[in-house]
Amino acid sequence: MHSIRAVHAKFRYLIHEAARFGVVGLAGLVVTDGGANLLHYQVGMGKITSTAIAILASIPVTFAGSRYWTFRHRERQIGQMPAAAPLHQAGERASSSIGPRS
């Protein structure tokens, strides 16, 4: 029991940061999947077009969540958004290859 408390005390900040990162990721997933389904089924757009628009909408959401909530204590760098966009797109491609969207 003592060792668990020692590990938690040592990594407490990292554990909280990882949890916030997960919440931001889930928000991005909701925006991407919800937006894609809304555009596809309610508006009548094609699957690829609706997914592309939803991904573009989720990039600023996840960037803002990560920048201003998860990693707000870290040093700010100019040009983070252009660097974050390709990483976000790579993550979306990886998640969409796991299973089909319905």
Give this prediction's pTM: 0.67
pLDDT in tens, 22-79: 999 999 999 999 999 999 999 999 999 999 999 999 999 998 998 888 877 766 665 6
pLDDT in tens, 66-80: 888 887 776 666 566
Helices 80-98 and 47-65: angle between axes, nearest 10 degrees: 130
C-alpha dist (Å) from residue 83 to 9, 49, 79, 80, 90: 33, 23, 7, 5, 12
Residue 10 has pLDDT above 90, yes or no: no
Question: CA–CA separation, 55 vs 45, rounded Å?
Answer: 14
| Chain mean position to CA 2 | 35
